[in-house]
């Protein structure tokens, strides 16, 4: 897949500097995170927001997305910056961690509401084949398939964390182990931001599994967590997103800003800018 202009939003500092460049990846919304890109640019970071499905020339849904698409974006940022960081949220964190295992140029990764495994791509119908969300060199990345026997609750908003945890259980330890993101192949810093009340997927337990594997390998990893936070995270200077969604996200009042505020000094340090 080629990167086209309509799938990119650049944010560049008003005063040019050859410093840190960041690739910013949103999650299952399929949007470009323009607000985050603009916030980073205002603080001196050259940032690129990249749409990776649902746009021109891209898969309509997150399925079989080539990881090379992200390394191509990093190539573009590297032409302007001498230090590179990947920042992703949810599905975007999954992409960021996987990409960091194959691109050794990165100084670090910020994985917000991360996963420790690669998951199945989105299926349109229950009888569709199980396909990976990602490919590498034309081959599917090993993944945990979603349990298609799981049913939405008869009333109320679903908590998809139950769907993911059930799928992990049904898949079994061998498939889950094969789908683990090889985070020990990421040489740079890894910063994990997770909410303990995430109702979308189990961000905090997943972050802890990533950190444990990297700790065993003697690699630097930081977890910033808030036990009362859900899936949304708002960094200082960002607008609060619409939290009225057709599914549960978790978290108490003020949780997105609280977790984002706790994470920001660590993110700024990784970006090599003032907090």
Domain ranges within the chain, ordered by starting residue = 5-143+180-271
Whether 230 contacts 254, CB under 8 Å: no
Task: From 116, 123, 74, select the one nearest 98 (Cα to Cα).
Answer: 116
Can you give the pLDDT at residue 60?
95
Whether 71 contacts 102, CB under 8 Å: yes
Residue with tokens 């990409």: 99
Which strand ranges, in their side-by-side order, compose the sheet holding 139-140? Answer: 65-66, 134-136, 139-140
5-143+180-271 folds as Rossmann fold (3.40.50)
What is the number of other CB atoms lying within 10 angstroms of the CB of residue 130? 13
Task: Convert the pLDDT of each residue in 79-105 to its tens digit.
Answer: 999 899 999 999 999 999 999 999 999
Residue with tokens 């990881």: 67
Burial 76-110 (b: 16+ CB within 10 A, else e): bbbeebebbbbbbbbbbbbbbbbbbbbbeebbbbb
**What's the pTM value of the predicted model, to 2 decimals?**
0.97
Whether 234 contacts 258, CB under 8 Å: no
Q: Which helix (H) or strand (E) holds 86?
A: strand 83-89
What is the number of other CB atoms lying within 10 angstroms of the CB of residue 233? 29
Helices 91-100 and 68-78 meet at what angle, rounded to 10? 70
φ and ψ of 32, to 5 deg? -95, 130
In the three-class reduction of DSSP (H, G, I as helix; E, B as strand; rest coil), residue 234 is classed as: coil
Can you give the pLDDT at residue 22?
98
Can you give the pLDDT at residue 17?
55
Query: Residues of the chain whose pLDDT is less than 50?
Result: none
Q: Which two tokens stand for residue 66?
A: 């080539």
Can you give the pLDDT at residue 125?
80
């Amino acid at each position: 897949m080629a990167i086209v202009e309509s799938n990119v939003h650049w944010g560049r500092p008003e005063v040019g500097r050859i410093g840190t460049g960041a690739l910013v990846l949103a999650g299952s919304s399929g949007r470009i995170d323009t607000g985050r890109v603009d916030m980073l640019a205002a603080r001196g970071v050259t940032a690129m927001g990249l749409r990776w499905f649902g746009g021109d020339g891209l898969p309509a849904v997150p399925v079989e997305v080539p990881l090379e698409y992200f390394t191509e974006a990093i190539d573009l940022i590297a032409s302007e910056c001498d230090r590179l960081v990947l920042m992703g949220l949810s599905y975007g964190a999954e992409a960021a961690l996987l990409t960091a295992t194959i691109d050794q140029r990165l100084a670090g990764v910020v994985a917000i509401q991360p996963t420790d495994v690669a998951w199945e791509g989105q299926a349109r119908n229950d009888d569709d084949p199980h396909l990976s969300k990602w490919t590498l060199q034309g081959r599917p990345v090993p993944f945990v398939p979603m349990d298609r026997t799981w049913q939405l609750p008869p009333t109320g908003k679903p908590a998809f964390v139950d769907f993911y945890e059930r799928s992990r259980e049904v898949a079994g330890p061998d498939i889950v182990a094969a789908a683990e993101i090889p985070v020990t192949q990421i040489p740079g810093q890894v910063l994990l931001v997770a909410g303990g009340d995430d109702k979308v997927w189990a961000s905090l337990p997943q972050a802890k599994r990533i950190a444990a594997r990297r700790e065993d390998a003697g690699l630097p990893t930081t977890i910033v967590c808030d036990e009362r936070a859900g899936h949304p995270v708002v960094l200082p200077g960002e607008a609060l997103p619409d939290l009225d969604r057709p599914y549960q996200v978790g978290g108490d009042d003020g949780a997105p800003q609280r977790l984002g505020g706790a994470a920001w000094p660590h993110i700024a340090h990784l970006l090599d800018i003032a907090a």
